[in-house]
Structure 1
Amino acid sequence: MKKILGGIAMILALGTTTVNAQNAPLPQQQIEVTDSELTEFAEVFQKMRMVNQEAQQEMIQVVQEQELDLQRFNEIHQANMDPNKEVETTEAESKQYKIVVAELEEIQPQFQQRMEKLIGESDLSKERYQQLVMALQKDPELQQRLQKALQG
């Protein structure tokens, strides 16, 4: 089921930790992160996970409303995203797939806005949040500190 949800989430590019990463500044070697910043980041991160879970549930509902199996939807989607993959579809499946993708593309901005709003409501700027995301990807010590902050 996680694989299926991941595939659906991929469509909308709803990462639990990234918001418009393409606009993020270039990563720095290592940045200084205070405990209070990390605590604030952890709070935003948790809230974003909740929004992401809601988004996944809504996406699943969209797929199911078209009476398309989640796994089948993912197979079709992966084939559409990867020119090296092929999958045979019926005319009905192709139509259902297109309807689902159109609906998902329509709801995606709402969830993106909610995620951006969560950052805006925090003490972190969007730029600083992005810096922390990028630092976390490369710094195992910072990842451990985040784990502790998430548990505490």
Structure 2
Amino acid sequence: MIMFFLMIGSTASFAQTQPLPQAQQVQNEVTDAELAKFVKALQGIQMVTQKAQQEMIQIVQTEGMELQRFNEIHQASINPEVEVEATSEEKTTHKKIVGQLESMQAGIQQQMEKLITDQGLSLEKYEQIAMQLQSDTVLQQRIQQMLQG
């Protein structure tokens, strides 16, 4: 997986949150209609990210680098604690690939935002539900039921 680039958009911004105090949970109640919109947007976003993943893998392979090697070099480039030996040719290829992937990112972000707003949700509401989902087991169960139904 191309970890750095798959952290795109709203699906990747799910943050670890502390459970909300009871009073705040009531205030942030998610209606069934909002949840249905969220689920539809999320399903669309998953399709966009899967397609983007395949395209990113294709770019890495087209440039003649193995995916695992790209990830090793990339991790070392973004994390000073990770060291990897790479030839100057590998570094050049890595840099070229990163440039191509970054140029894709804005379009992918726009597609995901459009999926959210096309469902009638604001980006803020989508984010709020996504964050609430991290700690709210009732909300998680409601989404599971919608996905199964």
TM surpasses 0.5: yes
Q: 2:82 aligns with which of 85, 94, 119?
A: 85
Q: Residue 118 of structure 2 corresponds to which residue in structure 1? A: 121
Q: Residue 43 of structure 1 corresponds to which residue in structure 2? A: 40
Q: Residue 17 of structure 1 corresponds to which residue in structure 2? A: 11
Q: Residue 92 of structure 2 corresponds to which residue in structure 1? A: 95
| Residue 130 of structure 1, CA deviation | 1.1
| Residue 18 of structure 1, CA deviation | 4.7
Q: Residue 103 of structure 2 corresponds to which residue in structure 1? A: 106
- Name which of structure 1's ranges 44-53 and 130-139 shifts more when overlaid on structure 2: 130-139
Q: Residue 71 of structure 1 corresponds to which residue in structure 2? A: 68
Aligned residue-pair number: 141
Q: Which runs of 5+ in 2 are unaligned?
A: none
TM-score (norm 1): 0.85
Return structure 1 stretches of 4+ with deviation > 6 angstroms: none
Deviations 1:101-133 (A, max 9, x none): 000011110000000111111121221111101
C-alpha spacing 1:73/1:12, structure 2 compared with 1 (3 Å): same
For 1:129, the aligned partner's letter is Y
Is the contact made by 2:52 and 2:108 (CA closer than 8 Å) also made in structure 1? yes
Is the contact made by 2:36 and 2:146 (CA closer than 8 Å) also made in structure 1? yes
Is the contact made by 1:12 and 1:108 (CA closer than 8 Å) also made in structure 2? no
TM-score (norm 2): 0.86
For 1:38 and 1:120, locate their aligned partners in 2 and report how far apart those are by CA, in whole Å.
Answer: 14
Larger Rg: 2
- Name which of structure 1's ranges 58-67 and 118-127 shifts more when overlaid on structure 2: 118-127
Report whether the alignment pairs 1:53 with 2:50: yes
For 1:14, the aligned partner's letter is I
| Residue 12 of structure 1, CA deviation | 5.0
For 1:85, the aligned partner's letter is V
C-alpha spacing 1:12/1:108, structure 2 compared with 1 (3 Å): farther
Is the contact made by 1:16 and 1:52 (CA closer than 8 Å) also made in structure 2? no
For 1:49, the aligned partner's letter is Q
